[in-house]
Structure 1
Amino acid sequence: MLVRLLYASRAIDPACSAIEDILSQSRQFNPGSGITGILCYGGGIFLQAIEGGRNAVSELYGHIQKDPRHKDVVLLHYEEISERRFGGWTMGQVNMSKVNTSILLKYAERPELDPYAVSGKVSLALLEELMATASIIGRA
């Protein structure tokens, strides 16, 4: 059974290269586990959707909750799915520096990434729009 999980977290050290480490680990680990997804990072906040088998996704989320690079980990959305939306990426990355602020304003009060201030469904809609507008880099 396929599931999709969406979570937000804050970087322990927003200035560090945690995003590159996370992407590198994801791209090595995820193919063997059947995990696909997308990672968005901006303003010290991670927004990530992961898809795959229920057990694999649950296990990965458990690791994320214990990962010392994250704090304030919050589950935003979880659902059983019939097909993947982010199946083309072992872990895609959103380049927030190239995102048009009008896209962010469409889903939030201010033109910044803040999944803590909106619903999980709104955050998922934002990720889908970022994907549709080719804001995804690192299609590994």
Structure 2
Amino acid sequence: MLVRLVYASRARRDLSAHDLQDIVRRSREHNTHEGITGLLCHTDGVFIQVLEGSREAVNVRYKRIVMDERHDQCTLIAYDEIGERRYAGWSMGQVNLHRLNPALLLKYGETQRLDPFRMTGHGLTTLFDELVAAGAIECH
């Protein structure tokens, strides 16, 4: 059975570009091995991540994230059983916020600032779908 999990958290400390690259690199390595796909977004000290895969693999990964000292206020936004993956091509795609049209944020949120704690799971997932369609996802 496949599931999709969306969560948001706050970074406990400021992260450098190198720190973020290391997080993405490690996520890609682990996710490939565990059959997990998804997207990661980091902005203004906030992480937003979509994880897709088997229920067991996604649950184990989310538990590790909750226990990770780099995360604070880890909040489960959505958890759904799914028939197919939306992000099957990416062990961990990374949202390029420089390609984000601020008006798109108003479509799904209260302001032009990305605040996942004030958005629905459906709104975040649909926003990510539009970012994929617009080519605003980086994968290596």
The TM-score with structure 2 as length reference comes to: 0.94
Letter in 1 for 2:23: I
CA distance in 2, matches of 1:6, 1:118: 11
- For 2:119, the equivalent position in structure 1 comes to 118
CA distance in 2, matches of 1:121, 1:2: 17
Deviation at 1:41, TM superposition (A): 1.2
CA distance in 2, matches of 1:102, 1:124: 17
CA distance in 2, matches of 1:45, 1:70: 9
Sequence identity, in percent?
45
CA distance in 1, matches of 2:28, 2:85: 17
Deviation at 1:56, TM superposition (A): 0.3
Conserved in 2, the CA contact under 8 Å of 1:40 and 1:47? yes
Unaligned runs of 5+ in 1: none
CA distance in 2, matches of 1:21, 1:73: 20
Deviation at 1:112, TM superposition (A): 1.2
How many residues in Structure 1 have an aligned counterpart in Structure 2? 139
Q: Runs of at least 4 residues of structure 1 off by over 6 A?
A: none
- For 1:69, the equivalent position in structure 2 comes to 70
DSSP 3-state at the match of 1:5: strand
Unaligned runs of 5+ in 2: none
Letter in 2 for 1:34: G
CA distance in 2, matches of 1:97, 1:43: 13
- For 1:30, the equivalent position in structure 2 comes to 31
Letter in 2 for 1:94: V
Bigger mean CA deviation after superposition, 10-19 or 111-120: 10-19
CA distance in 2, matches of 1:97, 1:12: 23
Matched, 1:102 2:122: no
The TM-score with structure 1 as length reference comes to: 0.94
